[in-house]
Structures are given as C-alpha cells and as structure tokens.
Amino acid sequence: MRALCWNGVNDLRVETVADPEILNLRDVILKVRLTTTCGSDLHLIDGLIPTMREGDVLGHEFMGEIVDVGREVTKVKRGDRVVVPSFIACGQCWYCQHDQYSLCDTSHPKPELQEPLLGYPTGGIYAYSHAFGGYAGSHAEYVRVPFADTDCFLVPDGLSDENALFISDAAPTGFMGADFCNIQRGDVIAVWGCGGVGLMAQQSAMILGAERVIAIDRYPERLAQAEAFGAIPLDYTKVDVIEALKELTGGRGPDACIDAVGMEADGTGVQHAYDRVKQALYLESDRGAALRQAMLAVRKGGTLSILGVYALMDKFPLGLLMNKGVTVRTAQQHGQAYVPRLLEHAQRGELTPAALATHRFSLEESPKGYHMFKHKEDGCLRAVFAP
C-alpha cells in the first residue's frame, strides 16, 4: 500500500510499504477514508520528539471503513464506517475503567522507552514515535486498529466523513480541555490558540455553558473562524492580552484558561526570543509563551487546562500557580470517554468539526499538504488526505 513516511527532520515521502495484518484477535484493519494533519505532527517533523525511525508511517487522526476483523471482535463488523481515537486503549485495565484511556496500562508495547522519563508509561498512540508505542499511522491506505471493540465508534448515518474525522482527536481533545475547566454558569473561558484543538475547545466551552469565550491567536482567518463560532477574538500582536482580559472580566481575569498551543508557541518580546534561541540550540524543547501567558492571566483560584504538547520547558513559573491557588488539569486526550457524546453534538449541529477541513489532498499530495499546513499558507487550518 501507499503511505506517508517520516525519513528525517522535514523529510516526508509517500512510499510503498507492507499492508497491515491482523496481529491480535481483537484487531481490525481499517480502509482509511479520511486522515488529517495535526499540530502535534509538526513536533515530529521538526525533530523535537525523539525515537522516530526512517520509514515510520505518520498520522493519528482518522476515520474509515472496516475491511478485516479479528476473531474476538464482537461490536463492529466488516463494512462499518467508524472513527477511531488517536490513543489506543484496551478498555479493561484500571485506567480505562476510570475513563483515563490515554493512560492505558496495556496498549504500550515498549514501556521501557518512557519509564525513565515519566515514571510510568502512557498508552500507545498511532504514529507518535517509538517512545509512544511505535504504531504505524493513518496517513496510508490501510491501518491496523488494536482493541477494536473499545476503540472503533460507529459513525451515524447522515453525519459526514469530514465531521466524523475530527472526532478522532481535535474535538475530544478540545472538549476534554473545556471539561477540565468545570464550567459554571457565568464563567468566562480564555483559549490560547485557534487551530483545530483550540477551536474545538471554544465550541465545547460554549456547549458546556460558558457565558463568554475569548479566543487568542494572531492569524486573521483563524480569529475570524473563532468569532464565527461565537468567541471574542484577541490578536496578541495588536493588544496587551493580560490587560485586555482584565478589561473583559472586570479586572478579575478569566475563570479558566486553556492552552491549546504547546511547545512551538509563537509570542512577542524578549522571552520569546530567548525561547527560540534555546530551542534552536536544543537547550530546551519547548517555547512556552502561550502557557506562561495563560498562567499569568487566569484569575486567583481559577483553572488552567493544558492541552498543548510539552516536554522540557525553561522558565516555568511554578510559584505563580501556587501563590494564586490555581488548579492545573492536563492530559493527553481520553477520547473514548467523549466520542459518543461528541457524535451526538455533531449530529445536532451543536459541534461543527468539518469547519476545520480547509484544504483537501490525495495521499500522494500529502507532503504538499503538510508544507501548507506547517507554514499556514492560504489560510490552511487543517489539511485532509483522502487515500
């Protein structure tokens, strides 16, 4: 089959690779209908996440049609149209039983690669380095899906492939971030980042009852989409974000702040220049402008919800959180806990993930799609590939 493969920093090629096979009786093989870029893929492409190997197939956000089924799979069958969360979960371990699916104790085949850094391994994830399991990704004609009864969710009739696609990762990640905020009537939520996850976090906060949602970014087309969703847009290159948030909240600050940016955040001023130099010299992996600003902006006793991917960040003001009494919630997405609800919201038109699909390519054109996505050319929010 054809697949998009990582061959080094900023070196992506579409190659012919072996077709996936059933390896476990609980596996299925999925014919990929749609798969999409994600901001966290850029960390791999830019060489910020170690343990990638030449020939690794990329892609972790996808949906498709089941074409082969392991003998112990009971809840899905050949021909079913399904969406699959990016983290792989067994459904039976302690963490899965407590809806913490990205922490699954069973799905990571190489825990020794994570334990020295994290203490305990996370669950496995498609195409996110060998430190996260070494699973082949979805930017391919076919993909193997382990634990299919837990990880495959039927797409309802009438719901488009484009809407279902982002319920694999962007929508559940964003919804989880809003859920972490414990939103109460009258709450004001500020979201850093108007990419796919940030926009889904904004819509999710509204669904969960936020009175106002404030969206922070610098790209006009992304801020326009946030405003179309009902958020108040702030361009951080044109206003003092902290002062603007105080003004919008009567001086108190947002009740919760969501960081949907992560380790390659852009920013302004001396601190951002410092981060760029240290990252370029591999003295730190993370540029933390968005996270630091969110920490400063959140009101006393508020909540900081961190969705952006991080590794090692310098100048992390922990004392700020302690002295303000801020609650911090963070995780990789527990998609299996949210996908059924999100499919219902999408069916009712309350959640509109298909708005993220601004550009569409064939699989053969996927390197071009990633270039456009990475450099935000032509207003590209997400590049979608149709194998």
> What pLDDT shows up at residue 311?
77
Q: Can you tell me which residue has the tokens 């749609």?
A: 34
pLDDT of residue 314: 76
Assigned token pair, 41: 């893929």
Dist. CA 260–CA 178, nearest whole Å:
11
Tell me the three-class secondary structure of the chain, residue by residue.
Answer: CEEEEECCCCCEEEEECCCCCCCCCCCEEEEEEEEECCHHHHHHHCCCCCCCCCCEECCCCEEEEEEEECCCCCCCCCCCEEEECCEECCCCCHHHHCCCHHHCCCCCCCHHHCHHHHCCCCCEEECCCHHHCCECCCCECEEEECCHHHHCEECCCCCCHHHHHCCCCHHHHHHHHHHHCCCCCCCEEEEECCCHHHHHHHHHHHHCCCCEEEEEECCHHHHHHHHHHCCEEEECCCCCHHHHHHHHCCCCCCCEEEECCCCECCCCHHHHHHHHHHHHCCCCCCECHHHHHHHHHCCCCCEEEECCCCCCCCCCCHHHHHHHCCEEEECCCCHHHHHHHHHHHHHCCCCCHHHHEEEEEEHHHHHHHHHHHHCCHHHCCEEEEEC
Contact yes or no for 15/3 (Cβ under 8 A): yes
Q: 294 CB contacts (<8 Å, ≥6 apart)?
A: 190, 192, 257, 258, 259, 304
Distance from C-alpha of 13 to C-alpha of 179, rounded to nearest angstrom: 38
CA 225 to chain centre: 18
Which CATH code for domain 173-330?
Answer: 3.40.50.720
> Could you tell me the two tokens for 247?
């003004």
Using alpha carbons only, give the angle 47, 53, 58 rounded to the nearest 5 degrees.
Answer: 75
Polymer length of the chain: 387
- Whole-number pLDDT of residue 299: 98
Query: What span, in angstroms and rounded, lies between the C-alpha atoms of 138 and 289?
Result: 31
Radius of gyration in angstroms for the set of CA atoms belonging to the chain, rounded to a whole number: 20
Residue whose C-alpha is closest to residue 234's, from 250, 217, 220, 222? 217
pLDDT in tens, the chain (387 residues): 999 999 999 999 999 999 999 999 999 999 999 999 999 999 899 988 889 999 999 999 999 999 999 999 999 999 999 999 999 999 999 999 999 999 999 999 999 989 998 999 999 999 999 999 999 999 999 999 999 999 999 999 999 999 999 999 999 999 999 999 999 999 999 999 999 999 999 999 999 999 999 999 999 999 999 999 999 999 999 999 999 999 999 999 999 999 999 877 776 765 666 566 656 655 556 678 899 999 999 999 999 999 998 877 777 889 999 999 999 999 999 999 999 999 999 999 999 999 999 999 999 999 999 999 999 999 999 999 999
Tokens of 119: 């203490």
pLDDT of residue 270: 58
Predicted local distance difference test score (pLDDT) of residue 285:
61
Neighbour-count burial of 233, counting CB atoms closer than 10 A to its CB (0-12 exposed, 13-18 middle, 19+ buried): middle
Phi, psi (5° rounding) for residue 371? -60, -45
Helix axes 269-280, 289-297, angle to 10 degrees: 140
Cβ pair 246, 253 in contact under 8 A: yes
Contacts of 59 (CB under 8 A, 6+ apart): 4, 35, 36, 41, 126, 127, 137, 138, 139, 140, 143, 385
Record: fold of 2-169+333-386? Quinone Oxidoreductase; Chain A, domain 1 (3.90.180)
CA pair distance 98, 101, nearest whole angstrom? 8
d(CA 101, CA 93): 9
Query: What is the reported pLDDT for 123?
Result: 97
* Every domain of the chain and the residues it spans: 2-169+333-386, 173-330
What pLDDT is attached to residue 305? 98
- Return the pLDDT at 287: 73
pLDDT of residue 48: 83
**Residue position matching structure tokens 């969406």:** 83
